Every structure is written in structure tokens, then in C-alpha cells.
Amino acid sequence: MEPTHVLAIDLGTGGPKVALVTTDGDIVGHEFEPTSMLLSEGGGAEQDPEEWWTAITRATRRLLDRGLVDVADIEAVSVTAQWSGTVAVDASGNALMNAVTWMDSRGAKYIREVTGGTIKVQGYEVRKLRSFVQKSGGVPSHSGKDPTAHILFIRNERPDVYRATATFLEPADYLNLRLTGRAVSSHDCITAHWLTDNRERDQIAYDDELIALSGLDRERLPELVPSATVIGTLTDAVADEIGLAQGTKVVTGTGDVHSAVIGSGALADYAGHLYIGTSSWLTCHVPWKRTDVLNSQASIPSALPGRYFIANEHETAGECLDFLVDNVLFADDLLGTERPAGVFQKLDALAATSPAGSNDVLFAPWLNGERTPVDDHTIRGGWHHLSLASTRADMVRSVLEGVAFNSRWLLDVVEKFIKRPLPSLNFIGGGARSDLWCQIHADVLDRPINQMVDPQQANVRGAAFVASIALGHATAEELAAKVKVAQTFRPDPANRAIYDELYGHFKALYKANKGLHAKMARH
């Protein structure tokens, strides 16, 4: 079958990217529109759903106006979005407040209350922990950053919103509601609520016991539909608004983690990939459902029907570079400095002048706490072992290396979980555009790193692949072969000893500082 085209919408934390992608995964063109993040005391991190929609409409119109594809040849819309967020909507589908994003930790105290008890393991009452893990594969994080905690926060601190809410939706599902008028969630997208029985991949459903343990109301949760299926068509009004043909199909939404897993091309069981964007993760598909409570990771439903993959996450990765640029090097303040064009390429060139190990300067990338392998929302990052001899190049390179040490920490627990080494990793996300960061990861992880073609487009490619499966155009095996490697970076043995030593110091930093940071935390 000749490939058709998909309008893929990728709602990232920094704003939506929209792309025209063939059902074979070829990127025809894309546009981006920034959106803002609203941070507040107490761990608040919100975004305006109406701003999302305006940005998506503007970017889509701009993309379609380029005339790259006949609108009649766009067969479907496929949405992927920042995962583990919450949008409260009323019976008419209107958002009742800002979206509570995956970075928001204000529900932490409420989730601790509902999951606690007399006899506890890792802070969870034993019986509750057993039920969550046995059925869903995971448990609501004590960081407060899962949707269940978000909903509890709204119920306790925004009771008027809670009473008016008809449905709580993931960001991807909210966008699909705007597109089709249907408030549904897929078997994979709903997982981070930890309210579904996932033991049989083809028979996923809400579990009454888990809902009761969470203290939530079933009637405020969306209808569930199978992964990678068509959920409807664009409403006539939306088709006219964004410039697509009436009757264009819309497929199930996915979390960004799920779409990246598919867009990485690592679709076989135990084929690993590494993603570095705002956050990061390191994962693979597996043929079983299993949970690693101690290291906050679990195998959960994939966006591929009938499949599981390992879910884990690092809170800040590429965001550490943005922090360096916007708050240290080029802050827009009284000093009057401005971010130059090509800043990340300049940082790469500067970092390359510092030797492997950054002259023993260590950077801890925990700027917003951490999730895996430790669920700790109070830990904080920063530079360590600075001296008067340390240079700006050392500090910049240490940020790249600090994120890579965090990736190695994750690799260690993933390989222990799957009981085998990952022979190589497909590297995707904005971080994979840096040849230097690819080589640093190869050296620190001691694994070949495959820099994928168009690594920053993995999410939209994955969304298009979900549509391709939903429309019956291809199987997962056929799609995996369509994702190409740009080049492979192999570990440099000359750097092995220095990185092994610094990695040991990196882990020791967490152990030495976690108690202090917990005491200093204001939320």
C-alpha cells in the first residue's frame, strides 16, 4: 500500500510541534510554536490548555500553508503529548483551570495520605502497595507528579473545580477531545494513573479496588479504548479551524514516552533506546509485566497493541543545558546579556576544549528532583568540586557528563531489571543532535550509541507509526526497519578509567546530600 500522510501533533513542555509524516515515517515538514510554563511556590507547574490549542492551530495553519502535501492526502491526525499531566474539563469539554503538568508536585502530601498506613514499605502501606503493583504494575509516586496526585490536589485545594469536573484527562486525551468531541483514553495513555489492571495486555480495564484505594471517583475518569485504534473523526468546526478535510480520522493519543519508544525504531523486545529532551529516559520493550519498586520502574502497556515496555524517567536532562544558558551564561537581567544564535553548537565547541572528566568538576542534574532510580522530589543539583582553576569549559562539559552519569545510573538498574545487558542504544531527542554528547554517552555508558536520523522528530514519527498501525498500513516489525541510524559512536577505552571513577563519585554525591536537601526543601 502506498504511504499516505499523518498530521502528527507533539505537545511538548516547551510547546507543540506539528509535522506532516508519511505512514512510513518520513518527515515531510514540521513547525513549532512555543508555550509558557507557570511555576509557583509549593511545587506548582501549570500550563494553559487554551494556549496549547492556539499554538497548535497557528502551527498547523503555517505548516499546511506551505503546500507540502495535498490536504486530501492527510489520512489521519495522531496526537502525542507530555505524559502524566491532568486537565479538568466540564461536561461541555471546556478546561476548568490550567493543566497540572508532569512537573507539578503539589499533590505529594495527599498521595502519601491515601497510600500510607501502619505497616509500610518505601512509605506505602503493604496491602495497598501489593494491590497496586500486582494489578497495575506501578504505584502513584510520592513525588506527587502522577495524575492521581494531581486529581487529589484539585479535590482538596480546588474543590469548586473538582465539583464541576466531568472528566480528568491526560494532555493528549484533552487534545483528542478538542479534535473529536470524545473524552477517551487509550490503554497505554491512562497507565500513569495506576488505576487499571494491566495483567492481561489485551484486557485492560479500570480496577474498582485501585480506584477506591486512591480515593477517586470512577465517573470522573475517561472511557478506555484499545491502543492504536481510530477513535473518531475531526468535528466539522475543528476541520475548518485548522485547515484539514472534514472526515479526517483521529487515532488514540499517546504519552511522549510511548511515541518516542516507537519512533526510536527500537521495537523488538530488549532493543534499547535513550531519549534526551527536557527530561530523559532509557528503556526497551519486554515480553512480561514486572515491577521494580525499589528503583521506581515497571513494565507497562506500550502504544503497540499487546506489548509492554519499561517506564522510567529522569526529571531534567536537556533542561539542564537550558538552565545553564538562561540562568547562568545569558540571563536576561541587569547584566544585559542575550542568548546568541547557535548557542548549543557554541556550547558543544566550548565543552570539547575541556578533557574527559571536566578536570574533576561534577554536575548533578537533579534540578527538579528525581524519579528513577530514586523517587526523590527534594534532591537538588549543582556543580561540585569547583576550584579557582575550574574553567567555563569545564563547567559546560560537566553538565553534559552529569546527564550522562545519570543515564548510566539508569542503565545499571534497567539491565539489572531485565537480567541482561543492552548491547547498544538508539539515541533520540534533541540531545542526540550533539555528536559530543553522543560520544560522552558512549564513553560513560560503555555502550555503542546509535545516533538516529532526525532524532528530534522521534515523537512525531512514533505518533505517525501509531496511526499507521491503527489504519492497518503496517506492523510494528515493518515499521522498525524504516528508522535509520545516522552514525554509531563507540566507547573510547582511553576514557574508561576516569569515567568509572567519576561515576562512583556521582552516586556518592546523592547519598551524601539527600538528607540535607530534604531538610532544606520548602515543599
Q: What is the pLDDT of residues 454-465, one digit of tens each?
A: 999 999 999 999
**Residue 474 pLDDT level (bands cut at 50, 70, 90):** very high
Which grid coordinates are listed for 24?
Answer: 512510513
Q: How far is CA 332 from CA 337, 346, 348, in A?
A: 6, 18, 22
Q: How many CB atoms lie within 10 A of CB 17?
A: 23
295 has pLDDT over 80: yes
For 396-415, what is the mean pLDDT? Answer: 98
Q: What is the pTM of this model?
A: 0.89
Q: What is the pLDDT of residues 202-244, one digit of tens each?
A: 999 999 999 999 999 999 999 999 999 999 999 999 999 999 9
Q: How far is CA 360 from CA 399, 403, 442, 445, in A?
A: 12, 15, 19, 18
Q: What is the pLDDT of residues 70-123, one digit of tens each?
A: 999 999 999 999 999 999 999 999 999 999 999 999 999 999 999 999 898 888
For 351-361, what is the mean pLDDT? Answer: 98
pLDDT of residue 386: 97
For 171-193, what is the mean pLDDT? Answer: 98
Query: How do 223-225 and 184-186 pair as beta strands?
Result: parallel
For 405-416, what is the mean pLDDT? Answer: 98
d(CA 286, CA 424): 16
**Residue 521 pLDDT level (bands cut at 50, 70, 90):** confident
Q: What is the CA radius of gyration of the chain?
A: 22
**Residue 1 pLDDT level (bands cut at 50, 70, 90):** low
Q: What is the pLDDT of residues 235-291, one digit of tens each?
A: 999 999 999 999 999 999 999 999 999 999 999 999 999 999 989 999 999 999 999
pLDDT of residue 241: 97
Q: What is the pLDDT of residues 27-48, one digit of tens each?
A: 999 999 999 999 999 999 999 9
**Residue 338 pLDDT level (bands cut at 50, 70, 90):** confident
Domains of the chain: 5-252 (3.30.420.40), 318-455+485-520 (3.30.420.40)
**Percentage above 90 pLDDT, the chain:** 92
Which grid coordinates are listed for 423?
Answer: 548491547
Q: What is the pLDDT of residues 374-401, one digit of tens each?
A: 989 899 999 999 999 999 999 999 999 9
pLDDT, the chain, mean: 95
d(CA 417, CA 415): 5
523 has pLDDT over 70: no
For 142-161, what is the mean pLDDT? Answer: 96
Out of 81-95, 333-347, 429-443, 477-491, least confident range:
333-347
